[in-house]
Structure 1
Amino acid sequence: MKEYIELQSHFCSKIDIKKICTFDYETIAERTLPLYHKSPRFILVREGKGSIEVDRERYELKSGVLLSVLPWECTQIVEVEEALSFEIVKYNYDVVAETIKSSTSMSDPVSVLKKLEETPYAYLTEEMREEVGYLFLKIRKEAGVESVLDFRERRSYQEINIIMLVSSLIIAFCRVIDSRDKKICIKNGSEDNRLLILRYIYMHLGEKITLERIAKQFYLSRSSVRMYIFEKTGLAFHELVSEMRIVKTINYLLYTDMTLEEIAPVLGYVDAAHISKVFSYRMENKISNYRRTYQRVLNITNIEEKKMAYQLVEYISRNYQEEIQALETSERFGISIEEMNRHLMMQVECNFSDFVNRLRIDKACELLLDTDKSITDIAIEVGYGTVKTFRRNFIQFRHVLPNEFRATQAVLVN
């Protein structure tokens, strides 16, 4: 019988789904089965010795290790030499990420979040162990201990304090990986990039996610992507995308005042009616009833700024094949280039130039595979003035020349 990889709940707490963060303990004495995490967490190893695989990489576990597991990453304890004792902080990624992105005290808040994607592993110095241990203790005092139902009475400013504590934990983790001077991954011989597919889909839900796009991104055929997703999750491709969008929809319902019309383009829905239909089918509950039942926990977003960001993304996405310029676009929206780039960094995590080039190269990939058009014609069609510029950007985003990409993908499809 086929065994699917377990999909963990997207809520931090099984008791109170509105909780932004939970604290817990866990002890593991033997190898575990693979697990896809819908909610991120920090795992602090207090005692024991062993190793863990996070997606395709293996890492050593011992006292003083801090792991950062992001949404839709797959983990498995593959070796236990001495029983492992963990402290675990689960948190709502969207809430914390939005707070960090909107922070005016950070020079580049998006880079902090991107840093988490570099590696899940940090080995703490004695000084950092003290700092991280203090943050874990403060979070436990605010949130209680989930597994023993130790829920603390809600204190004033509790949510924002927890968000700040988790943000401090993220910064501490980033400082450790910035200061390390050697590779800490244990080579396990696995080069299976498919493990990253689920994470990629989750991070690009607001864009047009199709089997064709995933296949091109991972140099696979559409049938291979479809089969892999079903083998690992038991879900069809469209069911998985729907599942992920539901998770993000719930976060917007709980933590913002955004209307369904405003949420739809952010998460890749056609319109408000589409959200309602998908939500009712999956949750067996109407959105209006759900929002009324749980109400809004806190407001994490400036809706007017969000609207501006969505409008920018929509405009650029519709006009990237034209001679679109940064100054012209910023003036169209009545803002400076710097402000426009700030909106884009918060929404698509890249500036105007990179976003335009990304859209053009994605379209070029589609034309390379689905048509017999020449490289020159494709370069002009997607918005480049010269083939040289097209090739330079194609290499930057795809790490191969356009003709090599076409030849490689043709072999994979056949």
Structure 2
Amino acid sequence: MKEYIELQTQFCSKIDIKKICTFDYETIIEGTFPIYHKSPRFIFVKEGKGSIVVDMVPYELKAGVLLSVLPWKCTQITDVKEPLSFEIVKYNYDVVADTLKSSSSIRDNLSVLKKLEETPYAFPQGDMEKEVEYLFLRIREEVGIESVMDFRERKSYEEMNVIMQISSLIIAFCRAIDSRKEASCKKVEACDNRILILRYIYMHLSEKMTLEKISKQFYLSRSSIRMYIYEKTGLTFHELVNEMRIMKTLNYLLYTDLTLEDMAPILGYVDAAHISKVFSYRMENKITNYRKTYQKVLNIMNIEERKLAYQLVEYISRNFQEEIQASFVADRFGISIEDMNRHLMIQVETNFYDFLNRLRINKACELMLCSDMPITDIAIEVGYSTVKTFRRNFIELRHVLPNQFRMVQAELVN
């Protein structure tokens, strides 16, 4: 009988799906099977010795180690020399990340979020370790202990306080990484990067996700990607994409007032009807009934600002092949160029011109791979007025000349 990699639930709590954070203990006395985590968590090792593999990279486990596991990362404890005791904080990444992005120091907060992608492993020592212990204690005191149903009476401002504690934990984790003097892991020599496919899909859900696109990204055939996904999850490619989109949809239903029309382009759906159809099939419940049952559980997001950011991204994405300028787009939405760039940094983590060039170069790559159009015609087609500007931006983003890119990709296909 085929054994698939377990897909963990997306919710922080098995009891209350509205919770944005939970605290718990866990003890491991032997190795575990691989698991894909839908909900992110911090794992603080209190006792024991062993090894864990995160996306094919091994790490040592011992007292004081702090792990950060992001959505759709795959983990497996491969060795337990001494029984391992953990403190675990699960949290809603989208809510925490959106709060960080919306704060005043956007540049620093974005770099913090990107650092979480670099490594899941930190080993805080001295005052840093004490700070981590303190933050875990504060979170436990606020939310209780999930496994023993130690649920505390809800305090005023609980959600905001928890988000602040998790944000502080993220900063402590990043500082521990920066201060690390020794390499904390040893790379697998023959790393099977297919395990990164699920994380890649999750990070690009707002785009049109196809097997062909993933094939070019990982240099694998579409059939091999399709087979790998099914072998590991028991889901077809389209079922997996819909599963991930449903996760995101639930978050938006719980934590925002966005309409289905607003959500569709953000989450990669065709339209509002497409969301309703996929949701009803997967959840066996109408989306209107679900929202009516749970309603919005937090008021921590500025909904109007979020809508404006989505509208900006959608407008630029639809019109990047035209001669659009930053001043024109800003005037169209009645804001300054600085405010427009701030909204774009929150939503796509880049400013107007970088986002515009990224869209154009991505489209150019698609045309070079799928057509015989001359480079000059492609440059004009994607919105550049001169080939010189096109080449300069192409080299900046792809690190090769357009014609070299076309040649290399053609060789890979053949």
Q: Structure 1 length normalisation: TM-score?
A: 0.94
> Residue in 1 aligned with 2:381?
381
Question: 1:3-402 to 2 correspondence within 5 Å?
Answer: 3-104=3-104, 108-402=108-402
Q: Distance in 1 between matches of 2:223 and 2:396?
A: 27
1:243-297 CA-partner distances (Å, limit 9, x unpaired): 0111111111111222222222221122222211111110001112112222221
How many angstroms does 1:132 deviate by?
0.5
Q: Which one is further off, 17-26 or 326-335?
A: 326-335
Aligned length: 414
Residues 299, 207 of structure 1: alpha-carbon distance in 2 compared, 3 angstrom cutoff: farther
1:195-248 CA-partner distances (Å, limit 9, x unpaired): 222112112212222222222222333223222222221111111111011111
Q: Distance in 2 between matches of 1:391 and 1:218?
A: 25
Q: Distance in 1 between matches of 2:59 and 2:393?
A: 34
Q: Which one is further off, 357-366 or 386-395?
A: 386-395
Q: Distance in 2 between matches of 1:364 and 1:191?
A: 31
Q: Distance in 1 between matches of 2:180 and 2:394?
A: 32
Decide whether the 8 Å contact of 1:60 with 1:186 is kept in 2: no
Decide whether the 8 Å contact of 2:49 with 2:63 is kept in 1: yes
Decide whether the 8 Å contact of 1:220 with 1:413 is kept in 2: no
- Structure 2 gaps of 5+ residues are none
Q: Distance in 2 between matches of 1:368 and 1:349?
A: 27
Q: Which one is further off, 236-245 or 217-226?
A: 217-226
Q: Distance in 1 between matches of 2:214 and 2:405?
A: 15
Decide whether the 8 Å contact of 2:106 with 2:345 is kept in 1: no
Q: Distance in 2 between matches of 1:410 and 1:295?
A: 51
Q: Considering only aligned residues, what root-mean-square deviation do their CA atoms show, in Å? A: 1.9
> Residue in 1 aligned with 2:406?
406
Residues 247, 63 of structure 1: alpha-carbon distance in 2 compared, 3 angstrom cutoff: same
How many angstroms does 1:404 deviate by?
4.2
Q: Distance in 2 between matches of 1:311 and 1:258?
A: 12
Q: Which one is further off, 361-370 or 331-340?
A: 331-340
1:273-329 CA-partner distances (Å, limit 9, x unpaired): 221111111000111211222222112322211221122112211222233322332
Q: Which one is further off, 198-207 or 20-29?
A: 198-207
SS at 1:217 equivalent: helix
Amino acid at match of 2:31: R
How many angstroms does 1:377 deviate by?
2.8
Residues 222, 389 of structure 1: alpha-carbon distance in 2 compared, 3 angstrom cutoff: farther
Q: Distance in 2 between matches of 1:358 and 1:2?
A: 41
Q: Distance in 2 between matches of 1:388 and 1:125?
A: 52
Q: Structure 2 length normalisation: TM-score?
A: 0.94
Q: Distance in 1 between matches of 2:104 and 2:65?
A: 31
Decide whether the 8 Å contact of 2:25 with 2:86 is kept in 1: yes
Q: Distance in 1 between matches of 2:261 and 2:47?
A: 49
Residues 232, 411 of structure 1: alpha-carbon distance in 2 compared, 3 angstrom cutoff: farther
Q: Distance in 1 between matches of 2:393 and 2:316?
A: 18
How many angstroms does 1:385 deviate by?
4.0
How many angstroms does 1:172 deviate by?
1.0
1:173-198 CA-partner distances (Å, limit 9, x unpaired): 11222233443221221332222221
SS at 1:334 equivalent: coil
Q: Distance in 2 between matches of 1:58 and 1:357?
A: 37
Q: Distance in 2 between matches of 1:387 and 1:2?
A: 53
Q: Which one is further off, 178-187 or 130-139?
A: 178-187
- Structure 1 gaps of 5+ residues are none
Q: Distance in 1 between matches of 2:401 and 2:139?
A: 49
Identity among equivalent pairs (%): 76
Q: Distance in 1 between matches of 2:216 and 2:10?
A: 28
How many angstroms does 1:392 deviate by?
4.1
Q: Distance in 1 between matches of 2:216 and 2:288?
A: 38
How many angstroms does 1:400 deviate by?
4.4
Residues 391, 83 of structure 1: alpha-carbon distance in 2 compared, 3 angstrom cutoff: farther
Amino acid at match of 1:108: D
Q: Distance in 2 between matches of 1:341 and 1:298?
A: 26
Residues 388, 195 of structure 1: alpha-carbon distance in 2 compared, 3 angstrom cutoff: farther
